[in-house]
A and B are shown apart, each in its own frame.
Chain A
């Protein structure tokens, strides 16, 4: 029953595809990030919050991109960013927790969607660092696979001053030979690669410490760490990172204006840092739900249904906004006034997962989902 031996560390030149999941916790307002500026009802229902054309950049049809997300615009134009409007889950409690669970677990199924993707495609334990959450805790979406939570690389390497330990261990694993001996030797090689990386990152960290606090951003730095891990060819297949704070019940414009630049800068810097590795990276950005269309009395919006999801990457055929837009008229909206979910997030993830691993059984990945996949790669 033994499977073909897996190489613990990938050879240079044969690097794997990496799926990066960015979760916008709190329910990001899709109508503010990618506003349907060309829709009259939008302006009627959001007299204060609605975006004006001059504060946005052109996308497709009625949709435009908020100026604060401008760093993402070139990716759309270069067809490396696909935007999915009216996106969400069937979970309609409008509860953060229920919707987030649904998003991470892929419905009433065992395992998180990303963990199960790795599991079903036999990548679960592909190397010493197959999946990582840039967080204190491993994301629920990685349930079902080996994964590490870290904020910085030093948490992953072996403790300091273990050179002799490693040297002696190396000798003994070499003497052992066979699969175990090989696994031991390869793991030690990985440790050394991580340590090299770790030193470089510590230098960066030290440099950053010299900068004013406002100039530093955990989200941007976290994506930077993921880029380093990808480039080190440690066998990384999946990474998750969260950007929280999107729950804009109150003073939405101010709140979102501080978050959008972080999101856009983080993703754009990430792509730049990846450079020639960008084509083997696919980023999915999702949120548990969108917001109510009508604004409330405190210049915010309440929990809604359909929001905006994104797929970005060096080989993502982007440049499109997926939407089945029929406006925001009363008969279109879902009670009590929300954008209906047209694009189940599992259709988006299914398209991405199948593109990365054509053999994946989507019926097993999302057992309770019967819709098709979004034609991103069609």
Chain B
């Protein structure tokens, strides 16, 4: 029997699927709870709580305060928009940092945006995914593993980090860029190379400079496979370059489809990128490189595959003879084009403000992008300061990944990102790294509203204790939340309406938590 993509691969299957089997011992073990949920002493807990994050100690939840306003207050709003959802105690912690709610919100936003230490972030992320050993391997070593295992681990890591990371805005931006620079990990060698892309392309730059992120993505071995850049060459004048990556670079990664480029620009951009390739499993297109599997996954520039003539892209000339430097010249032109600032700002505003983002907020955000030369935290700082951001409260519909992660976070349920949650994501069509076409998952709520049934089903089974680890006790959570009203305040970011409260009380006790998690208000953020 062949394993499904959902099942954890076993060693025999690794072997049967033609993989080296050298790493057979590194099998998925099915451990129920990740190491990060271990209880830690209060000093460590406090350190992890501040400045922007939290640690989930599922074993002993302490009583926590929840927002009590009739409407969602600014702090509660900021927390729900800049993180993957509130956790027990997160609101209370930040509420205490200033006398007014508004000032507390400002402090929270400032602290969230200030996180920009790539090495530190990488280290935290690595520790969080310490059980996912295969995806931490060097690029060539990744090929030793069963791709199903890599994909399983990568998804696991994404979930564990989203639920447990103290660097929440960072994790949100990692997901944002993973959509923006979408790679379907089921295509060709992306099956082995997407973990490398996640670790070495998206994560180091998710809160850095857009230009650095774009360059890393252009030279990502997985991206060279996904959009066929590796096949892009021109040895003879009659050779036609492969335009796939160049087109998506302009259409999806930088200027946007109406950004003012022409077919001629796509062809010229493709010429700039000829010669860049990656050694894959098939060992094709690599006759010059080392034989066999040596150097697999490495990106190289093959001079004689490069079209070294002069090019004109978006009205700017790139002189002949640039060789590998053509790539940098091209990326500089597209990054600095005003349409790029506009396009990135629009997507960020859609993500953080509203499905139909207001023009004023886009303009402010685009201006900050331009002024800071594409500095991502600076751009976000400007976005979060707009009036539109501050007033659009509780209006975005959570996508399935967001819903599930926010649910685990809200209840303080630890997760190892394993089968249960991955199956739910698959059912709702929102597995990370699994979207087939380059535009990435839709970021408007309406596209996801058919997933309500799966959410209610998940909430009911969780509420009935079928999916939670034994270390998590529902009654302890309810006690810590205070009472029914307190729980609803925590989940909704505001006082419940009379209708909500009445409905909850009319529901059998066993399904009250599930009802709370199924409310329209908990689908929104």
Q: Chain A interface (Cβ within 8 Å of chain B)?
A: 1-3, 5-6, 8, 25, 95-98, 100, 105, 108-112, 115-116, 119-120, 124-128, 130, 135-140, 143-149, 158-159, 161-162, 164-165, 168-169, 171-173, 175-176, 179-181, 183-184, 187, 190-191, 235, 244, 364
Contact = CB atoms under 8 A, between A and B. Distances in A.
Contacts of B6: 137-138, 149
Interface string B1-41: 11111110000000011100000000000000000000000
Nearest to B499: A175
Contact of A125 (B2, B7, B434, B448): B448
Nearest to A108: B188
A184 B456 CA distance: 10
Nearest to A179: B446
Given A168-B515, A180-B523, A147 B450 contact: no
A8 B514 contact: no
Contact of A179 (B7, B449, B519): B449
Given A105-B186, A125-B429, A164-B508, A158 B435 contact: no
Contact of A97 (B2, B457, B504): B2
Given A98-B18, A128-B450, A137 B5 contact: yes
Contacts of A364: 437
A141 to B, nearest CB: 11
B488 to A, nearest CB: 12
A144 B435 contact: yes
B516 to A, nearest CB: 11
A100 B503 contact: no
8 contacts: A3-B446, A108-B188, A119-B437, A128-B453, A164-B506, A164-B508, A169-B518, A183-B449
A224 to B, nearest CB: 22
Given A115-B436, A146-B450, A169-B515, A110 B226 contact: yes
Contacts of A190: 453
Which 9 A-B residue pairs are closest in the complex by CB-CB distance? A146-B429, A137-B4, A111-B436, A110-B184, A183-B449, A110-B187, A144-B436, A168-B503, A128-B453
B131 interface: no
Given A2-B355, A128-B451, A187-B456, 9 more contacts: A2-B356, A112-B186, A148-B427, A165-B514, A165-B518, A168-B506, A169-B503, A172-B503, A172-B519
B381 interface: no
B360 interface: no
Interface residues of B, number: 60
Nearest to A190: B453
Nearest to A165: B511
A5 B514 CA distance: 27
A1 B503 CA distance: 34
Nearest to B188: A108
Interface of B: 1-7, 16-18, 184, 186-188, 190, 226, 350, 355-356, 397, 426-430, 434-437, 444-454, 456-457, 460-461, 464, 499-500, 503-504, 506-508, 511, 514-515, 518-520, 523-524
A158 B457 contact: yes
A108 B231 CA distance: 13
A172 B523 CA distance: 13
A179 B520 CA distance: 11
A1 B444 contact: yes
A131 B65 CA distance: 43
A135 to B, nearest CB: 8
A355 to B, nearest CB: 22
Contacts of A169: 456, 503, 515, 518-519
B511 A124 contact: no
Contacts of A173: 520
Contacts of B355: 1-2
Nearest to B453: A128
A183 B450 contact: yes
A184 B437 CA distance: 29
A97 B499 contact: no
Nearest to A194: B453
A116 B187 CA distance: 12
Contacts of A111: 184, 186-187, 436-437
Contact of B434 (A3, A136, A143): A143
B395 to A, nearest CB: 10
Contact of A6 (B187, B450, B506, B519): B450
B426 A8 contact: no
A110 B506 contact: no
B452 A164 contact: no
Given A147-B426, A164-B508, A97 B184 contact: no
Contacts of B507: 164-165, 168
Contact of B429 (A98, A124, A172, A180): A124
Nearest to A131: B429
B473 to A, nearest CB: 21
B520 A130 contact: no
A375 B350 CA distance: 44
Given A95-B18, A147-B426, A171-B499, A187 B523 contact: no
A176 B17 contact: no
A169 B187 CA distance: 41
Contact of A180 (B187, B449, B508): B449
Nearest to B461: A159
A159 B428 contact: no
Contacts of B356: 1-2
B436 A184 contact: no
Given A5-B446, A168-B507, A120 B437 contact: yes
A110 B503 contact: no
- Which of B186, B460, B500, B514 is packed against the most chain A CB atoms within 10 Å? B186
A184 B6 CA distance: 28
A180 B397 contact: yes
A136 B3 CA distance: 10
B426 A138 contact: yes
B511 to A, nearest CB: 5
Contacts of A98: 18
Contacts of B503: 168-169, 171-172
Contacts of B461: 159
Contacts of A108: 187-188
Nearest to A177: B520
Given A110-B436, A143-B436, A169-B456, A138 B4 contact: yes
Given A125-B451, A147-B426, A171-B503, A184 B4 contact: no
B460 A162 contact: yes
Contact of B460 (A6, A159, A183): A159
A158 B436 contact: no
A246 B450 CA distance: 38
A8 B515 contact: no
Contacts of A96: 2
Contacts of B429: 124-125, 145-147
A53 to B, nearest CB: 37
Contacts of B520: 172-173, 176, 180-181, 184
Given A128-B450, A164-B511, A183-B450, A172 B2 contact: no
A119 B447 CA distance: 12
Contacts of B434: 143-144
A164 B510 CA distance: 11
A226 B190 CA distance: 34
